[in-house]
Amino acid sequence: MMRPRRGLDPSSVWAQRLRQLEHRLRAKEERIVVLETENAVLHLKLAEYQGLAGRSTNEVLQLYAAHGQQMKFQRSSVVTQLHGAIKRLKQDLKSLHSFALELSKDFQRQSKTCLYQVLAAVQGTQLQNEAMQMFQIKAFDLEQSLQEVTERYEKEKQKRKALHNSLIELRGNIRVHCRIRPLLPFDDAAGHSQDRQRNFSEKVAHAADDETVLVKCSRPGHASVNKTFQFERVYNDLESQDAVFADVAPLLTSLLDGYNVCIMAYGQTGSGKTYTMLGPQLEGNLAFATEEQSELGIIPRATQEVFRLISEKPPGSYWVEVSVVEVYNNEIFDLLAKDSCGKVFGVKRDVVTTREGKSDVPLLTHETVENASEFLHLVNKGLQLRVTHPTLVHAHSSRSHLVVTLTITTAVFGDNFGTLWEDEQTSQRLNKEASFTFPQKMRDNKFTSSSRASSPVQLEATEKMKQVKTRLQLVDLAGSECVGMSGVTGAAVRETSFINRSLSALADVLGAIAEQRAHIPYRNSKLTHLLQDSVGGDAKLLVMLCISPGQKYLTESMQSLGFGTRARQVQRGQVKKKNFPVPSKGK
């Protein structure tokens, strides 16, 4: 209890204190009124909620009763459905049982049937096995018979070929082989439509067998016609250089037996003549590659074979000389001639006919070679001078005829000779050749063992001896061509004209020989004049036809095949053999 301060009026203090208490009382009373109002409102809401709760309880009771009734109804419904399902299952079970019984009976019946069928099949298989064994025995017998027949056929074929070759030699016929090259990228000519390109690249020439060429000839609006051509040998586009040379090699044996031999490649430009004769050429170089032995052509292989045969011969004196010429624009050029500095350059030569009626090229360079490597080196030198010109058909088209001649001289020294002559003319001609001057290499002590044994190396000019010369001529003819197809212009057109005229002259010469005319036009061309001895019957002549298989070159291929067919029909009489003198043993 506050005590009134001294100096203040106690009554005023109490009055102020009273007013404060009254004020607080009124605030409390107002608060009581508000709380009573809120209490009344809450009582009203409580009564409302109690009424709602009562109604909700009734509804819940009703729902519970309804749910109980529904559950009872559902249980009674499910039981009824289950009874129905059970009844249906029993019916289905009875049906399945009866079906199973029927199925079991049917299975037993089928099992018995299958068992009978299996037994029958086993018996049938045994019978078939016995029959198969019999068939196998018969097949084995047939295979043996077929093998025997095949062997007999091959033997008869070889006999027929030998007889045919003998007949060719007796008649003097020209052997003709035909080689079909593969299709190459340049066979599709640029500038043509796709349809024409496809037509041009179509393969129309095939090797039906090793003796027959089949050509499919077709013209617009006409049915295709197959034409066949028969030759001594036909090579398909897959056969190798080895296969080609295998049929040429026997002629080289004839060379050392005393026969002249000529192998000539004929065909249109781009048909594979130079590849067949020489082999693949080095890029940007006219020389041929000698490293790839499997790709070597006839010329290098023939040289290797000649030197191999010489090495196997009985002791004697042999030496080999080589000359290389080209016939360009109906002029003969010596490709081994050298200038004063020893450099090789082409010199024009002429061809003449000797008193004996033989062709000869005066002043022609003959280089002595001792092995195949020296020969190939000289030929490659000559090829550097050969004239070529690119055309639409061939990038390195030869514009001249190449003639490589290998001359083999056989000499035997002695005073007495036991000689077998085929005819008097050959004897007289050889007896006239009593002495001669040896090549420098042969004077330098490079004879074979028999010449060294018989006398010292120093030889007198008057020493008597006999000599026989045989020649191997290897000819790579320039290809016939159509100016419109090759696309040549200017000087190349003139070259084409001379090439075609010389090949035409060759065909005329063969035609005249076939018809046995009194006059043979050898001098119509320097080519035929140069090859007079070989074509005219003094040599075994093999013509290697080279043709392109594509439709684009059909006309040229048919012309080449026609030339080969006419050449086969030429009968020149039996080729004469130059018998070698046999030295006596007394000296």
The string of pLDDT tens digits covering residues 503-520 is 999 999 998 988 888 899
Of all residues in the chain, what percent carry a pLDDT higher than 90?
A: 33
Mean pLDDT score, 97-115: 91
Of all residues in the chain, what percent carry a pLDDT higher than 70?
A: 76
Lowest mean per-residue pLDDT among 396-400, 445-449, 548-552, 572-576: 445-449
Lowest mean per-residue pLDDT among 181-185, 412-416, 422-426, 458-462: 458-462
Spatial contact of 534 and 510, defined as CB atoms under 8 Å apart = no
Give pLDDT, residue 142: 92
Give pLDDT, residue 183: 86
**pLDDT above 50 (res 461):** no
Banded pLDDT at 536 (limits 50, 70, 90): confident
pTM of structure: 0.64
Q: What is the DSSP string of 275-326?
A: HHHT-PBPTT-SSBPSS-GGG--HHHHHHHHHHHHHHHSPS-EEEEEEEEEE
Which is it for strands 175-180 and 539-547: parallel, antiparallel or unpaired? Answer: parallel
Lowest mean per-residue pLDDT among 279-288, 341-350, 429-438, 546-555: 429-438
- Chain-centroid distance of CA 124 in Å reads 51
Instruction: Provide the greatest CA pair distance for the chain.
Output: 198
**pLDDT above 70 (res 468):** yes
Give residues with Cβ within 8 angstroms of 383, minimum separation 6.
Answer: 278, 286, 287, 288, 335, 402
Mean pLDDT of the chain: 79
Residue entry with tokens 């009976």: 105
Residue numbers in the known binding site for ATP are 267-274
Nearest Cα to 168, choosing from 579, 461, 442, 567?
567
Residue entry with tokens 């693949």: 280
Give pLDDT, residue 420: 34
pLDDT digits (tens, 9 = 90+) for 470-495: 899 999 998 876 655 555 555 667 88
Residue entry with tokens 């081994």: 336
**pLDDT above 80 (res 460):** no
Residue numbers in the known binding site are 267-274
d(CA 440, CA 406): 18
pLDDT digits (tens, 9 = 90+) for 231-244: 999 999 999 999 99
**pLDDT above 50 (res 430):** no
d(CA 480, CA 556): 8
**pLDDT above 50 (res 30):** yes
